[in-house]
Structures are given as C-alpha cells and as structure tokens.
Amino acid sequence: MSNLTDMEVFARVVTAGSMSAAGREMGLSPAVVSKRIRRLEERLGARMLQRTTRQIALTEEGQGFYERVVAILASLEEAEAFVTRRNTRPRGTLRVSAPTSFGRMHIAPHMERFLRDNPDLNLSLMLSDDFVDIVGEGYDLAIRIAELENSSLIARRLADNHRVICAAPGYLERHGAPGSLDELADHNCLFASSQDTWRLEGPEGPALVRVNGNMQTNSSEVVRECLVAGLGIALRSTWDVGAQLQSGALRIILPQYRASRHVGVHAVYPSRRFLPVKVRAFIDFLADLYGPQPYWDSGLKLDAIPAAPGAAAKAPSSSRR
C-alpha cells in the first residue's frame, strides 16, 4: 500500500504545484512529501520532477507516469464513491489564472456567492494577460479566451465569445458610420498594441483589415474607455462592452462582420481524470453562470453570420492555452 500512497502524493504535488501545498492538502509535512517523492523516484529509477527554488515541473518520464497514475487514482475514487456514496465537499486552496479584464468583470463579482456556497475553500485568483504554464506555475486551472490549439490540456467551453465592430453614438453623429470594411480606412480606429489587424468573418468569408488610429496603448481597458467616450471605432468582445451595447452607449456597426466564431471562453486544466472536487465545482459554477447564453449578450442581436458559399465548417481544436 505504500507504493499507492507514494503515487497519490506524487499526483497531489503535480496538481497542487508544490510539495508544501500538497502537504497541506494531505495533512503531511513538506519533509514527508519530499521523502515520499524521493522514494518513488528511487524505486522507479527515474526523476519524475524538476525542482527549482520557485517551481516544480514534470520531466518527460514524470508526465507519462502522471497520466497513468491519475487514471489509477480516479478508478479508486470511483470505486470508493460507489460503495460509500459520500458527497465530498470542495476544500483546500483553488488556484486560478484568468485574463485581467475578464477576471475583474465576470469572475470577481460572483466569488462571494461561490465561496459562500463552498465554505471550506480558499481562492487564489491571479489576473494576467500573459500565457500561464498551468502545471509549471502550480495552477489548478486557467480561463482562456482564445481559439485553442492541440495539447495534453483539457478544455471545457464555458461561453461563446462574440467580437463586434462598434462605436459610440456621438462618434457616429460627427463622422458617420462606415458602410463597408474598406471605409474603415477613413475612420479613427482604436486598438491595443499589435492588434491593428482585424481578422473578421462575414458573408463573403474571412477578411483581414488593417486599421489606423490616433492613439496608442497597451491596455485593452483604455481602448474600451476611449471607445465609450466617442474617440473612434473598435472591435470588442461583447463580454467587455455588452452593458454599453445594451444601454445604447455603444452601437454595433457593420453587423454582418465579426471576429472568428471559433474563439470561446474556456476553462483549461491538466487532466480529465482525478479532477479535484474543488476544480470541478468552480468550472460547474462558471458554466451555470455563463451558459447557455451569457448574461452580457442578453438582448443583443447576434445572429450567426452566413457562411461563405462553399465554405467548409472548421472543427474546434483542443486546448493548449
């Protein structure tokens, strides 16, 4: 049974992101956790984890071992749950990474209810627009707004992400509304750094539009504030400007065009098996909160864009980010 315990300790270290965090979850000291990992590596004759002063990462052997261990542990959990029918409560610390603006607007305001419903849980919510290595940096899951690439990570789509071209009524009164994509060249367009090419889909299929404007910023939130103030036209996600579109502070223009429909709001996590109860509880909470139609899209006319003649539907890819 000690071999099985060592495997469970190893899996906990990977999902928790550190030996100390795994120890707290299992009620073991860091020294005991380290000893169990060392004993496991000696028995297998291979290093499972690369240890640095700041983080723990899986080796190639460790990754393959982890994928098989979690399947074994998941089967044991299922067997125990079948016999005991116990209802395990989420507990411990949940580590989540999310995009900055989305986290502020659509995660943080709802955490009082989530934590009230899960009193044994602590939440560590880190907001960043940078790519996060979930396993290497010790996160339980990440929220990604992207068209995901292939990888060993698992993704659950929480909501569609509609990006529309819009402007404030004041701007449109002064400058008029563009009647085509080509006419965007005559307008002041707002965008964050390195986002001056808009990749759109419309009735004729994909389109790339290079836009120009009189302001530079590295902040998506600054773009939104300038957009609402009437400085120009922008391509924005409805989760970001849904409230302004609903109130009339912004209007959708060129509604037949929007960004790729394959981009979505996803919860991304390392493994489908041996998924901690706390992770499942958080993902289910957000899925219920956002779906099937997110509240930020309520009342908006977001009918599907007609496909270009002869265009083949693109299958959603699995997750990397």
On whether the pTM is more than 0.85, the answer is no
282 torsion bin: left (phi>0), alpha (psi -120 to 50), beta (else): alpha
Query: Quick one: pLDDT at residue 5?
Result: 81
CA 246 to chain CA centroid, Å, is 25
More confident residue, 37 or 78: 37
Of 271, 216, 267, the closest CA to residue 72 belongs to 271
Q: Each residue of 174-229: pLDDT tens digit?
A: 999 999 999 999 999 999 988 899 999 988 889 999 999 999 999 999 999 999 99
Class of the domain covering 2-84: mainly alpha
d(CA 200, CA 236): 12
258 and 162 in contact (C-beta within 8 Å)? yes
| 92-161+263-297: CATH, from 3.40.190.10, 3.40.50.300, 2.40.50.840, 3.40.50.1110 | 3.40.190.10
162 and 237 in contact (C-beta within 8 Å)? yes
Model confidence at 309: pLDDT above 70:
no
Mean pLDDT estimate for the chain: 84
DSSP state at residue 145: E
Token pair of 180 as six digits: 């085509």
265 and 158 in contact (C-beta within 8 Å)? yes
- Mean pLDDT (whole number) for 294-320: 54
Of 25, 21, 17, the closest CA to residue 52 belongs to 17
Q: Each residue of 239-279: pLDDT tens digit?
A: 999 999 999 999 999 999 988 777 889 999 886 656 788 99
Domain boundaries, the chain: 2-84, 92-161+263-297, 163-259
| Fold observed for domain 163-259 | D-Maltodextrin-Binding Protein; domain 2 (3.40.190)
d(CA 235, CA 282): 30
More confident residue, 155 or 102: 102
In the three-class reduction of DSSP (H, G, I as helix; E, B as strand; rest coil), residue 58 is classed as strand
Please tell me if the domain spanning 2-84 has the same topology as the one spanning 163-259: no
